[in-house]
Structures are given as C-alpha cells and as structure tokens.
Amino acid sequence: MAGTDREDVPSILRGCRFETERLLVQELEPTFARWDVGASSGERSLGLASGVVATMLTEEVTRPLPPHWQGPYSPERAKQWIADLVGDPMTTLLFAVAKEGGSAPDETTRGDAEDLSTASASMVGLVIAFELPEEDSASRRCLRLGYLLSQNFWGQGLASELVKGFVSWCRQRNAEEPQGAIASIVGGVARTNLASKRVLVKNGFRAVCGESQEAHSPEDQEEEEFCLQLLS
C-alpha cells in the first residue's frame, strides 16, 4: 500500500497507546525500549521484536488469518512481516504486554537471550489496524481491525479486554476532534472462528448484512464482517 498519495496523510493511530487493567498496548519502539536499556537502537528493538513475534505466530495462532500470514515464522520472516506492516503509512501494529511481569532485567546480567525470553513471556498479543478513508469525508477514517493473542494467554478474557481498550482509545480520539476522526471499526472473522466473533460482539460490534464472501483460508472459509459504528 506504500507508494500512494496516502503517504501524505498522517495516520490517525500514530502514537496510539492505551492501558487496560492487565495490558499496556503501544507501538514497536516504546514497547521494546523497555528491554533496550543502555544500547538504544531501533535495529536492536526490531531484532528483539522479530524474535518475539516469531514465537507468537505459530501455525495454530495464524490458522484463522489470511493465507499469506500463516505460520510458522522464523525471526527473519517475522522481521519482514513487521517491516511490511510498519512500513505501510496507513497500517498500525500495536504490541500488548502484560503489565505484571516482564520488567527489564538487571542491566549487568542480561543478554539478548534473556531479553528475548523475558519479552516473549510477557507479550500477550498484537493489534493490526488498517485505515481506509471514509466515503464522503476526507478526514474521517474507517478502521479494519485484526488481533491475535499468544496461545499461552488464550481463554483468560484478554482478547476482549484488548479490543475494549482499543475501542475506548478510538472513542477518546474522536472526542479530541470536533468532526470526529474514526467513523467505524470493522473486523472480518472466519465463520468458524467463534471465539473471535464473541470478542467482537461482546464489544458492541454487529454483524454486517450482506456479509463479505471473500475467501481468506486454504479451506475457502467464508468471512463474516462485524462493524462498530462510532460516528453517524
């Protein structure tokens, strides 16, 4: 998506950061700066992020995702995956870290392996948001929302908490601008992905009539769209 005139339009989600009861959610640099004591370098953060993402994007976790995102991931593949998302001016990648645990270890004793293990242990999930211009409005956007959790954290209500926090941040962002900024959030979910549907419905998303028939899995699974309208 890079290379279009969208590069001139700043992302509405730039600098997105929010906290929930159990999670701290923000972009790559501030997330990984936590484990980057001393040698502050973007390249080291990306290297650490690649290792962490490679452990998260297992075959099981990526099964409901589009075919070209299916795992497994080596750190090199994860690095390219991150670079593609971060390099797209209208895509935002957020990292959800458990607030408890995973603090930066003692600077004198730590090494790359310790950092990777500490960061992986506290990395709960990812949010991927794509911004599209809203019809009839140059300034408002529609967001397409994706998310995933590391399998260690499934079934604890954390995906619901993550989406709730993201929606709250979007509402707050709208309150900062008289015309509003984010018109709607849409989540596309494979029909068989009952947990993900439940997460969206619990957060106020409603199934869109005339559902998308787009195929997104090797089994030609149908996708259902759920929408949360934030502005009328």
Residue 65 vs 181, nearer CB to ligand COA:
65
**Binding-residue total with ligand COA (CB under 6 A):** 21
166, 25 contact by CB (below 8 A): yes
Nearest of 55, 166, 178, 180 to residue 120 by alpha carbon: 55
Of 36-44, 97-105, 127-135, 188-196, which part binds ligand COA (CB under 6 A)?
188-196
Q: Which one of 46, 49, 199, 230 is in contact with ligand COA (CB under 6 A)?
A: 199
Q: State how far the Cα of 88 lies from the Cα of 7, in Å rounded to an integer.
A: 8
The whole-angstrom distance between residue 183's C-alpha and the CA centroid of its chain comes to 19
Measured in residues, the chain has a length of: 232
* Contact between 35 and ligand COA per CB under 6 A: no
> Applying CB under 6 A, which of residues 124, 129, 158, 170 lies at the interface with ligand COA?
158
Least distance in angstroms from the C-beta of 56 to ligand COA: 9
- Kindly identify the residues of this chain, within the stretch 127-156, that bind ligand COA according to CB under 6 A: 146-149, 154-156
Considering only residues 189, 203, 225, 230, which one is a binding residue for ligand COA as defined by CB under 6 A? 189
Burial (CB < 10 A; 0-12, 13-18, 19+), residue 140, is buried
DSSP bridge pairs for 94: 127
2, 83, 194, 207: which one contacts ligand COA (CB under 6 A)? 194
**184-223: burial string, b at 16+ Cβ within 10 Å, e else:** bbbbbbbeebeebbebbeebebeeeeeeeeeebbeeebeb
Token pair listed for 7? 């590069």
User: Which neighbouring-strand residues pair with 97?
Assistant: 24, 123
Q: Establish if 61 lies at the interface with ligand COA (CB under 6 A).
A: yes
Q: Which is nearer to ligand COA, 180 or 187 (CB)?
A: 187
Interface with ligand COA, residue 157, by CB under 6 A: yes
By CB under 6 A, is residue 193 in contact with ligand COA?
A: yes
Does position 69 bind ligand COA by CB under 6 A? no
List binders of ligand COA among 75-134 (CB under 6 A): none
Per CB under 6 A, residues contacting ligand COA are 61, 64, 146-149, 154-160, 187, 189, 193-196, 198-199
